[in-house]
Structure 1
Amino acid sequence: MIRSAIAATGSYIPDTIVGNEDFLTARFFTAEGTEITQEPSTILAKFSAITGIQQRRYAHTDHNASDLGFLAAQDALTSSGIDPETLDYIIVAHNFGDVVSGSNRVDMVPSLASRIKERLAIRNPNCVAYDMAFGCPGWLEAIIQANYYIRSGDAQRCLVIGTETLSRIVDPHDRDTMLFSDGSGAVVLEARSQDGRGILAHHTQTHAHEYAGLLQMGKSYHPEKATEPERYMKMNGRRLYEFALQHVPLVIQTALQKAQVPLQQIRKVLIHQANEKMDIAILQRLFKLYGEEYTNQELMPMTISWLGNSSVATIPTLLDLLQKGQLPGHHIEAGDVVLFASVGAGMNINAVVYQF
């Protein structure tokens, strides 16, 4: 049986660190345009307690999402010694394309995948490059697509990248601005038929009815800027939290059932780094479905405290750090079964069960 196995990982983490204290002078407003008059330190303390975020990373002003994606891809290919000319597909997950520093205008022509292919100097025209827009679960959904190509015999190797510069499309007067960050991660999937490694099963859902508007573009919360044409990413945080707790555990459970893998066999859970409190609550709900209690804190490594939420980049970055021994206390051994899961705009949810 042919399976899609991870042959290489890579990431690019910007070195510009933005701490919570950098928002002490920010002026935040409600969605109705009313200024929030709480002490800044109180706002930051509450934010940190809920999200777990202490820092986030912002891209250099001369770097766009495609630049970050190229650097992550280069890391994966160079560290593994894989010849870029042997790639059959390059799939790049993002949500806003290249957004130049100082602007929030989306630039997606040509596709980021084509830009990255050019930067990698790949001449092979049979290496197909295209983009994936699927909210935060976009990278994981691109992995699922690549798996179909490989399982069908259409491809032997696929490069799957998640890259984003969310810092350039957030409203500086919206407290949710503090959630988001920039970064990129990449994985090379390849066909394997001998060692049993690879994707065992997956499950995806789109809950557009009733929930499509939980994440969307909208005007600035600052009343003096609300009439300007610029649009920023807006989130109904409370409803999104409730949505995730209700639906994500069920999607994960379905993926595990497809894979015929019991929950007790999962060695690591790599979940989209959206909100620490929410991610923990999702696992608690998942274990409850099986009549158990989530107690193993080593099961779910997290990077959100120092990397923030970089959307499609969070899981592949987390995976690369884990694979390269850069997450103290966490490691993956041969034969381990790992669960990947994500939720985001659309509203989309997906989960993948993978054996190393």
Structure 2
Amino acid sequence: MSSIITGTGSYIPEEIQTNAIFLENEFYDEERLPLKDKNELIIEKFKSITGIEERRYLSSDLNNSDIACIAAQRAIKKAGIDPESIDQIILAHNFGNLVGNSKQSDMLPSIASKVKHILGISNPNCVAYDIVFGCPGWIQGMIQADQFIKTGMAQRCLVIGSETLSRIIDPHDRDSMIYADGAGACILEKGSDPEKGVLSYASQTFTYEESNYIFFGESNKSGNAAHTHYLKMHGRKIYEFALNNVPSAMKLALEKSGIHIEKVKKILIHQANEKMDEAIIKRFYRLFKSGIPHDIMPMSINKLGNSSVATVPTLLDMILNGKLDQHHINEGDAIILASVGAGMNINALVYQY
């Protein structure tokens, strides 16, 4: 038995925000002291490290559940299935519906339940639930869906990753330039060829020292919106953690699959930081004492920013629909999906077309 992707879909917000929007921001450090560099230099350094030139923000008339539903509808249409035949709706996110700029999260009912309602699915046996697993949430949803299918508990699953980070960022924290909004989805269903589909995975959680690397905190600017909390992170610690742990998780997943590294044609990594992702790839191939193939790692962060759980499924959808120049996935290709994020959580999944 296998589980195969039969349709993908995504929603990329229309509102483009270039780095220039941060020129007038007042940036402060963690000690609430003004940054010494001028904003032009801060932005230039930021771009050279992260690769981000622009990002997408969701318009105020839409919520996270709305764009999750749009991505889901596109995946359903691509798969050519009846929504009533879906057994599970698994939705990965971190902050629920953040209405406007309120910073207040609405997670009642679950975002997955909201999506099922908007889709108009009446089948009570279609179970809808959320995953809060940090940025690796969508891949974790894929892992769960694969196991439900392979144990016979489900035939067809809708897995969605959707987030609106622009509504939870501190304008006085330079890290706020990283974050973006978006949604991606896929239909995963029972297949008949055990050599195709999801082959293996690795999933890990580190909390002994790492649980607060990403956290909720007050603004970097003293007295600004007191008691309002924003998305915060210890960037250097996350960078080092990712480099030390993601390559080994990818290696573990690949070894469990039985696929030789030369058969891997694409590696889709969570779009968090261009330099970090490049370093992860180098360390991964070093573990196999192998050279890095040309165009092995597609990137979308330069134009879309970091949309958390949505980065990997939107990147996959873009490639499968020919929207990313020079990157294609063909029959017989093996790919690796990998992510790292709050928890700290890491996962990697090997899939063969």
Counterpart in the other structure of 1:241: 239
Aligned to 2:42: 43
Aligned: 1:167 with 2:166: yes
Instruction: For 2:322, give the aligned amino acid.
Output: G
Partner of 2:312: 315
For residue 190 of structure 2, what is the aligned residue in structure 1?
191
Q: Is the 2:2–2:194 Cα contact (8 Å) retained in structure 1? A: no
Aligned pair 1:110/2:109, yes or no?
A: yes
Off by >4 Å, runs of 4+ in structure 1: none
Which residue among 313, 316, 331 is the counterpart of 2:328? Answer: 331
Q: In the aligned structure 1, how far is the partner of 2:345 from the partner of 2:194? A: 32
Query: What secondary structure does 2:298 align onto?
Result: coil
Contact 2:6 2:78 in 1 (8 A): no
Deviation at 1:328, TM superposition (A): 1.0
1:305 pairs with one of 302, 305, 318: 302
State the shift of 1:281 in Å.
0.1
Q: Would you say how many aligned residue pairs link Structure 1 and Structure 2?
A: 353
Aligned pairs (5 A) from 1:38-187: 38-187=37-186
What letter matches 1:309 in structure 2?
A: N
1:229 Cα shift?
A: 1.4
Single out whichever of 192-201 and 140-149 deviates more from structure 2.
192-201
CA distance in 2 between partners of 1:198 and 1:3 (Å): 6
- State the Cα RMSD in Å: 0.9
Gaps of 5+ in 1: none
Aligned counterparts of 2:72 and 2:161: Cα–Cα separation in 1: 10
In structure 1, give the amino acid aligned to 2:284: L
Residue 219 (structure 1) aligns with: 218
Output the amino acid matched with 2:16: I
Distance 1:297 1:43 in 2: 31
For 2:294 and 2:342, how far apart are their aligned partners in 1? Answer: 28
TM-score (norm 1): 0.98
Kindly state the Cα deviation for residue 260 of structure 1 after the two structures are TM-superposed.
Answer: 1.3
- Tell me the SS of whatever aligns to 2:212: helix
| Aligned-residue offset at 1:196 | 3.2
Cα distance in 2 between the residues matched to 1:219 and 1:282 = 31
CA shift for structure 1 position 197: 1.8
Instruction: Answer yes or no: is the 8 Å Cα contact 2:91–2:138 preserved in 1.
Output: yes
Give the equivalent residue in structure 1 for 2:26. Answer: 27
Between the aligned partners of 2:135 and 2:116, the Cα distance in structure 1 is 23
Give the Cα–Cα distance (whole angstroms) in 2 for the partners of residues 195 and 335 of structure 1.
Answer: 13
Q: Distance in 1 between matches of 2:29 and 2:59?
A: 29
SS in 2 for 1:264: helix
Q: Aligned residues: percent identity? A: 51
Deviations 1:71-119 (A, max 9, x none): 1001111233211000000000000000011211111000000000000
